[in-house]
Structure 1
Amino acid sequence: MINILMIEDDLELAEILTEYLEQFDIKVTTCDDPYIGLSTLNTSKFDLTILDLTLPGIDGLEVCKEIRKRHSIPIIISSARHDLSDKVNAFEFGADDYLPKPYNPQELLARIKSHLRRRSITEEETKSIKKDLVCDDFKHIITLEGVPLNLTVAEYDILSYLIKKEGGAISREELIYNCDSINEDSTNKSIDVIIGRIRAKLGENPKDPKYIHAIRGVGYKLEQ
């Protein structure tokens, strides 16, 4: 069964969509409070998120950003806000799709199937490529050749971010901004110290690293 989290404060719409999607073996969990929605997403496993933008307490765009920081699941925006700026910001914050209300539930179903099909293909391709370092956000562990690493929260946040951005050059400032456990007042030197600890736990020689490479004038990148 497919499990979907819907963060939507229009409970009548949520009920209609839930009943429709249940016909296709899709279970929908609805949260009308965005904070509860984020908490639910962190404690349970879902295949996809349907997210409204006009929510109580916090704008849906901020919710989208928070989801994408921690999860790689597809995000479909379901919103009555038709402003171009909202659509652009939604995609910049990590949304995979934007479905303007009102819409036919059949179209939502088609988009859900499309995103899950793409995700399944991507996961199969990833499995076919052997990786030494694997990050499991759901279990909150990173393994090196199948063995879990004993990481602090800050070490986990930085290493998981580098893994997800594999091959990309990441600045120290980007790590500070995107890793919740790192204080925004932290210095570049503090990032270097944490990177040093991570390298030690990976058994790396800092002069000839296998995974984490320093990029002069920029920061770091991870290759494997």
Structure 2
Amino acid sequence: MPQHILMIEDDHRLAQMVGEYLGQAGYRFAHAGDAASGLAAVYDQPPDLVVLDLMLPDGDGLDVCRRIRERTDVPVLMLTARGDPTDRVVGLEVGADDYVPKPFDPRELLARVRAVLRRRSAPSASTALRFGRLEIDRDAREVRVAGQAVVLTSHQYDLLLTMAEHAGKVLSRDQLMDLVRGTPLEPFDRSIDVHIARIRAVIEDDPKQPRRILTVRGAGYVFAKLQDA
């Protein structure tokens, strides 16, 4: 069955254009013109991916993203205003997996959609990774700390898994983005830092004094192989 994309966007002409483009690429497409109907659609029949506009007539896209994330781990691709990095950072902090700035080329949107869905459905090794109290279950795409499941977005899970699979190796921000998303960072893009902060918040005892994911000044990040953390 074709994968299902839901777009929550108040610009009906834009949504029609995107729907036709994604439909030609083989996806099922549905459109909601406001926050209320979009949330109802997500709750009723969760799609494979949500394309979410930041500005909606009856609510803030950031709030919609928060509410989606409270109920489901459906990937969210957020549409943001060009040149406004604050919107992008906040969007990532509330649970968006990726973002596309407006105005956008439909080909870029399609590439981002494919990348998010590919990460979501990619086959993985059957064994879990264990580092002390931290366990990354590749079959269930679940992260547990001391046996308790923690909440990460799909993108954050992929980022953590990538670092764990390269434990002990310093990875630059560009290397991480290329390994996880398959695209280079844009100039001054700090989205990796935002995701790392969110991951630390749920896996570290003290996110301000991390022991598992360490910053290597001027180089990037390294996942420590500690077994007692």
Helix, strand or coil for the counterpart of 2:7? Answer: strand
CA-to-aligned-CA distance 1:157-183 (integer Å, 9 cap, x gap): xxxxxx96621698xxx9xxxxxxxxx
Displacement of 1:2? 1.2
Name the aligned partner's letter for residue 124 of structure 2.
E
Q: 1:62 to 1:169 in 2, by over 3 A?
A: farther
Structure 2 residue aligned with 1:44: 45
Displacement of 1:125? 3.2
1:84 equivalent to 2:85? Answer yes
Name the aligned partner's letter for residue 49 of structure 1.
V
Please say if residues 3 and 27 of structure 2, whose CA atoms lie closer than 8 Å, have aligned partners that are also in contact.
Answer: yes
Q: Looking at CA atoms only, which structure, 1 or 2, has the larger radius of gyration? A: 1
Q: 1:30 to 1:96 in 2, by over 3 A?
A: same
CA distance in structure 1 between the aligned counterparts of 2:66 and 2:146, rounded to whole angstroms? 20
Please say if residues 81 and 101 of structure 2, whose CA atoms lie closer than 8 Å, have aligned partners that are also in contact.
Answer: yes
Q: 1:97 to 1:168 in 2, by over 3 A?
A: farther
Q: Which of residues 144, 152, 156 is equivalent to 1:166?
A: 144
Structure 2 residue aligned with 1:100: 101
Write the mapping of 1:58-137 to structure 2, written as runs, cut at 5 A. Answer: 58-80=59-81, 82-121=83-122, 124-125=123-124, 128=126
CA distance in structure 2 between the aligned counterparts of 1:33 and 1:84, rounded to whole angstroms? 24
Equivalent pairs: percent with the same residue? 43
What TM-score, normalized by structure 2, do the two folds share? 0.55
Structure 2 residue aligned with 1:133: none
Please say if residues 8 and 51 of structure 1, whose CA atoms lie closer than 8 Å, have aligned partners that are also in contact.
Answer: yes
Q: 1:86 to 1:73 in 2, by over 3 A?
A: same
Structure 1 residue aligned with 2:174: none
CA-to-aligned-CA distance 1:184-213 (integer Å, 9 cap, x gap): xxxxxxxxxxxxxxxxxxxxxxxxxxxxxx
> Number of aligned pairs?
138
1:30 equivalent to 2:31? Answer yes
Structure 2 residue aligned with 1:13: 14
What TM-score, normalized by structure 1, do the two folds share? 0.56
Name the aligned partner's letter for residue 88 of structure 1.
V
Please say if residues 82 and 103 of structure 2, whose CA atoms lie closer than 8 Å, have aligned partners that are also in contact.
Answer: no
Root-mean-square deviation over aligned CA pairs: 2.6
Please say if residues 53 and 81 of structure 1, whose CA atoms lie closer than 8 Å, have aligned partners that are also in contact.
Answer: no
